[in-house]
């Protein structure tokens, strides 16, 4: 009987954790990737104004690439919508190269999924 009760409590805790509302690690990665895609598109638009020289410059820079994202923890944001999350991100950034860094960012769920806000 005690084992059954312990199993039920563990299952309820597991379900409650899944319903917390905070973004998952996959959600956080997708939000960062959307942010990178948006920045890249903006840079490419600017480069087009400079013709071949602009394209050569953006090609020289290379593109940002996320290698891994590890969610450390999230708390509900105070005085703003969404969640503030501590994240370890391993990525390659043009000019500076690959590095692993800790960052804190706020994530808000929108109609197209989670987004990183400033």
> For all residues of the chain together, what is the average pLDDT?
81
| pLDDT above 70: residue 55 | no
In a domain, 70, yes or no: yes
In a domain, 94, yes or no: yes
| pLDDT above 70: residue 60 | no
Q: Check the CA dihedral 44-50-55-56 and report its sign.
A: negative
In a domain, 81, yes or no: yes
**What is the Cα–Cα distance from 36 to 42, expressed in whole angstroms?**
10
Look at 26-30, 45-49, 56-60, 84-88 and tell me which has the smallest mean pLDDT.
Answer: 56-60
In a domain, 19, yes or no: no
Give the pLDDT score at 10. 39
**What is the Cα–Cα distance from 14 to 17, expressed in whole angstroms?**
5
Domain harbouring 63, CATH code: 3.10.450
Domain count for the chain:
1
In a domain, 14, yes or no: no
**Structural domain span for residue 32:** 24-117
Banded model confidence at residue 40, pLDDT cuts 50, 70, 90: confident
In a domain, 1, yes or no: no
| Alpha carbon distances (Å) from 16 to 62, 70, 108, 112, 114 | 43, 21, 20, 24, 20
Structure tokens at 6: 């312990």
Pairing of strands 65-76, 113-117: unpaired
What is the per-residue pLDDT across 66-105, written as a single tens digit (0 to 9) for each?
999 999 999 999 999 999 999 999 999 888 899 999 999 9
The pTM score is 0.72
């Amino acid at each position: 009987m005690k084992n059954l009760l312990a199993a039920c409590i563990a299952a309820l805790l597991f379900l409650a954790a899944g319903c917390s509302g905070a973004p998952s690690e996959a959600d956080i990665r997708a939000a960062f990737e959307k942010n990178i895609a948006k920045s890249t598109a903006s840079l490419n638009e600017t480069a087009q104004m400079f013709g071949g020289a602009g394209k050569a410059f953006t090609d020289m820079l290379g593109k940002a690439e996320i290698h891994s994202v590890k969610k450390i923890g999230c708390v509900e944001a105070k005085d703003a919508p969404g969640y503030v999350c501590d994240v370890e991100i391993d990525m390659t950034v043009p000019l500076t190269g690959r590095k692993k860094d800790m960052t804190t960012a706020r994530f808000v769920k929108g109609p197209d999924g989670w987004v990183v806000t400033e």
